[in-house]
Structure 1
Amino acid sequence: FGTCGIMGVSPLLVPLALFLSHVLGALVDPTLPFSDYLYPGNSTMLQWGFDLVKNSILFELSMKTAGMTGADIVIGGVGPNGIIILIIYFTDRHAVRNSVPLLDKQQDYELVYLTEAYGQTVMKFRRSISACDENDCLITVMPVKLIYAYGETDNISFHGSHQGTKEVNLLKFMPRVSVPDSKYFDLTMTNFTVPAQNSHYHCKVMRNPALDRKYHIYRVEPLIDNLDLVHHLLLYRCPPIVTSPKEQACYTEEAQAECYQTVAAWGVGGGAFELPKVAGIPVGDDGGETFYRLEVHYNNQYETPSHVDNSDLLFYYTPQLWHCCDNATDFLSYGLCDAGYIPQVQEAAQDLQVFSVILHTHLAGRKVRVGQFRDGKQIDFVAMNEHYDFEFQQAVNPPKKLRPFCW
């Protein structure tokens, strides 16, 4: 699997029937803390771990099994009669065109083990994080595309439809947090028949389950019923004036427009999201009286009828309130005004002379500083007030030494 940016793993494995119990069983390999499904049906899982000090990354690919130009590829499998006569093949290759991947002159992947038994094929291997030769792709902190393919025999040939791709950030992947005493509830688009039209936004206003006390949501996990149709999900919190459930096309009533406080979002290709331990979404302190609006955008590009969708969002919550900034003594808020946009609203001049400034922050502000920047570096302060008072908003003159804004 892979394009340049990550090596490819193309396991052409015999009767390729992979079962995920090896990955999801009770024994967890501490050297492989990260995992992701590469195929929506959970039939292809990749686990990995890395050591930046040793410049090493370890992979384990598991599959249910019976155009990669420029990709850095590894191919492996267990040959015919593999259970009786253990014939293992494992090679480092690269793709140059739509043909059989070429064997690298330098073999930079190290096979840890490769097994096929009980309807399961697992390949574990490692390589250097950095590129070892011109045919290896450098693994960086940026997302990369993983491409995988497999065959039903041990002949290394065109894989047909047995392939897929997914974008993953290997070195900045968020592992799942284990939180004791956690529970979850879901908000679901139940049995909705997707219209036979190219684009449709459907909204459902519903109440969250009543909870006995205040909790913090720490994980939001999408369960997408039709990955080929659902483009994104948005969840909004409604104000107290919304007191009844309803379901209809989005943006057709004022009551829906009232629900605008964003709680969660998911977009195509994304996965679960876990909040850091300095943040949590409060829930349960309202007696179950709060309503939410779930918005689902369906992208039915072929306008096929009769698709029924039950996509939803799972919200994992814990009684252990995470350390949010509820009682923080202060925090900083930044804003940027780019002088380059001024000619769009008034006639351009050679320079801009600032002769007066009014500092305004509503009631939250305690200190205000307005800086002047040029070429990405601050060169002066236009105005500042270290003891801001909302009841005293007086225009002030900037210092005479202020340099003109130029563009």
Structure 2
Amino acid sequence: MAPLSPMEMTHEISMDQMGKYTLRWTPGEDDIIFEVHVATKGYIGIGFSTNGGMKGSDVIIGGVDDATNEVYLTDRYATGNTVPQVDASQDVKLLGGYQNTTHTSLRFSRKWNTCDDKEDLELSKEDTVRLIWAYGAADPKNKDPMAISYHSQRGSKSIYLNEPRLQLPKMSADIKSWEIRSPNVQLPDNLTTLYWCKLFKIPRLTRKTHVIGYVPVISDDNIQHVHHILLYECHLPESEGYYEKWVDVDGAQCFSANMPVSWRYCNSPLVAWAIGGEGNFAPDNVGFPLGEEHGGATYFMMEMHYDNPNLRKGVVDNSGLRIYYTENLRQYDAGILMTGHKVTPMQIIPPRQQWFSVGICEAYDCFFKTSPETGINVFAGILHSHLLGRNITLRHVRDNKELPVVLRDLNYDFNFQETRNLKNELKVKRGDYLITECGLDSTARSKATFGDAEMLEDASRKWLESSA
């Protein structure tokens, strides 16, 4: 069978840790076109799940029959950890497929909302979507759709299906780059997950400078291990006395007893990148100032999340970020406004509960004291919670009337945090309110969860759980 006809796709991501399962897609107004390229001559599975699990998920299984070269594709639903049932309504459209000596490739389309409420999930254009994937070594026996062997590989991945593709700005001669990389971190071969933090100091500057964007710099050998990267501004009075001595240190396990206490004040995120992301750039008229004397930060902490599910030995990584900056100042300074529920020991989440926390950024304290009379323009945001977080909504109120929701993710995943660019800049005026609503799920916990210490250690707790 001939290869698929060329079709440019707007997005591409490796679903597994070994580069054997590649997903490409293009979101449209009514539907999405998908392509999967997998290192197997058997079947391919991809599904949409509310929590990353099999039960209740919406599954698509396809492949190329070895005997007849016939391409097959079926729309299914999963009732548990068993072979998914075939839907009564087939709501995926096969657009082509082929198989060679090593790989199977399929192209198909699927509507955002198939109107099949019983057996399909509606795909969100705004929320995190959890994809589940699998593949097997053999096709269904005798073309029986239920005679599918147990998958040889499987996993899950959280993504934004409808995120616009990165548009790189024109790189003029005045734009410089600053690379910050992990100091050849050696991944333990007895742990599946590692969070590593390292402190950095900005380049020497001669005058005020603007950061305009970033791209990830991932080692080709370690694409399967680098899960996400966060870059935080560090803010303490007379910061040099706290942070300068740590710049030449290789780093420490994040939020562990070995991490210096001062690093916990590195908590204003400037960059949030997750696997599959291409980077992010500010609008052409906006830049983030560098240096405390210019209203920015002089010291930054980079948090690297590594995965090593196969416990590979000898993995050493120096991945990181390339930050772009310029002395040709943009029209406006950008800053970071953090709004939400303050993390303190007084925030107590009882066990076995679906909980709801609300943080109100009220007009006077939040805006009037610090914002200009003309207000501020919001062009992007990062939704952030901890391990108990399940959904986040940022609301906007003016003159006692609620305006359109600013940001929302009803399927939040702690392990997937990326900058969300607003389609239209939001004007926040003096007198406005911003209300952050966080849905939390403690049903799996037998003890109360306290803010501050316990929530700051969510990352290390996840690391410890993975090593158990």
Contact 1:149-1:159 at 8 Å conserved across structures: no
- Aligned equivalents of 1:334 and 1:293: distance in 2? 17
- Aligned equivalents of 2:25 and 2:132: distance in 1? 15
The 3 A distance-change label for structure 1 pair 122 and 237 is same
2:324 corresponds to which residue? Answer: 317
Q: Which amino acid aligns with 1:204?
A: K
> Aligned-pair distance for 1:65?
3.0
Bigger mean CA deviation after superposition, 245-254 or 34-43 = 245-254
3-state SS of paired residue (2:27): strand
> Aligned-pair distance for 1:236?
3.3
Max radius of gyration: which structure? 1
> Aligned-pair distance for 1:88?
1.7
Does 2:130 match 1:145? yes
2:182 corresponds to which residue? Answer: 189
1:71 corresponds to which residue? Answer: 57
2:148 corresponds to which residue? Answer: 157
Deviation by residue 1:40-92 (Cα, 9 ceiling, x = unmatched)? 3333222222332xx222111122336623222222111215xxx53222222
Residues 46-195 of structure 1: pairs in structure 2 closer than 5 A: 46-52=23-29, 55-65=30-40, 68-80=54-66, 86-117=69-100, 119-133=102-116, 134-141=118-125, 142-155=127-140, 156-171=147-162, 173-181=163-171, 185-193=178-186
The 3 A distance-change label for structure 1 pair 279 and 137 is same
The 3 A distance-change label for structure 1 pair 212 and 49 is farther
- Aligned equivalents of 1:358 and 1:293: distance in 2? 27
Which of 213, 221, 231 aligns to 2:216? It is 221
> Aligned-pair distance for 1:150?
0.9
- Aligned equivalents of 2:168 and 2:340: distance in 1? 39
How many residues align? The count is: 317
Contact 1:217-1:315 at 8 Å conserved across structures: no
Contact 1:220-1:313 at 8 Å conserved across structures: no
The 3 A distance-change label for structure 1 pair 183 and 125 is farther
- Aligned equivalents of 2:282 and 2:182: distance in 1? 28
Contact 2:135-2:152 at 8 Å conserved across structures: no
3-state SS of paired residue (1:136): coil
Contact 2:97-2:104 at 8 Å conserved across structures: yes
Say which structure is richer in helix. Answer: 2
Bigger mean CA deviation after superposition, 116-125 or 249-258 = 249-258
The 3 A distance-change label for structure 1 pair 226 and 236 is farther
> Aligned-pair distance for 1:205?
3.5
Residues 258-337 of structure 1: pairs in structure 2 closer than 5 A: 260=266, 262=268, 264-266=270-272, 271=277, 273-277=279-283, 279-282=286-289, 292-296=299-303, 309-310=316-317, 312-317=319-324, 325-326=332-333
> Aligned-pair distance for 1:274?
1.3
The 3 A distance-change label for structure 1 pair 138 and 43 is same
- Aligned equivalents of 2:120 and 2:88: distance in 1? 11
Alignment root-mean-square deviation, CA:
5.3
The 3 A distance-change label for structure 1 pair 293 and 100 is same
- TM-score, reference length from structure 1: 0.58
Contact 2:178-2:322 at 8 Å conserved across structures: yes
- Aligned equivalents of 2:154 and 2:31: distance in 1? 26
> Aligned-pair distance for 1:292?
3.7
3-state SS of paired residue (1:138): coil
2:198 corresponds to which residue? Answer: 204
Contact 2:168-2:281 at 8 Å conserved across structures: no
> Aligned-pair distance for 1:296?
3.8
> Aligned-pair distance for 1:305?
12
Say which structure is richer in strand. Answer: 2
- Aligned equivalents of 1:124 and 1:320: distance in 2? 46
- TM-score, reference length from structure 2: 0.51
Contact 1:203-1:293 at 8 Å conserved across structures: no
Deviation by residue 1:174-203 (Cα, 9 ceiling, x = unmatched)? 412233438754312223356889998755
Identity among equivalent pairs (%): 22
For structure 1, list consecutive stretches of 5 or more residues without a partner in the other structure.
Answer: 1-18, 338-356, 369-375, 381-385, 387-407
The 3 A distance-change label for structure 1 pair 281 and 377 is closer
Q: Which amino acid aligns with 2:104?
A: T
The 3 A distance-change label for structure 1 pair 253 and 190 is closer
3-state SS of paired residue (1:246): coil
Contact 2:25-2:34 at 8 Å conserved across structures: yes
1:36 corresponds to which residue? Answer: 13
- Aligned equivalents of 2:338 and 2:177: distance in 1? 35
The 3 A distance-change label for structure 1 pair 307 and 232 is farther
- Aligned equivalents of 1:367 and 1:322: distance in 2? 21
> Aligned-pair distance for 1:232?
6.3
- Aligned equivalents of 1:99 and 1:185: distance in 2? 49
Contact 2:137-2:151 at 8 Å conserved across structures: no
- Aligned equivalents of 1:359 and 1:147: distance in 2? 41
Deviation by residue 1:135-165 (Cα, 9 ceiling, x = unmatched)? 2221223222111111111135243441111
The 3 A distance-change label for structure 1 pair 309 and 125 is same
- Aligned equivalents of 1:120 and 1:300: distance in 2? 25
For structure 2, list consecutive stretches of 5 or more residues without a partner in the other structure.
Answer: 42-52, 141-146, 342-363, 376-396, 402-429, 431-468
Bigger mean CA deviation after superposition, 104-113 or 177-186 = 177-186
The 3 A distance-change label for structure 1 pair 200 and 246 is farther
Q: Which amino acid aligns with 1:152?
A: A
3-state SS of paired residue (1:130): coil
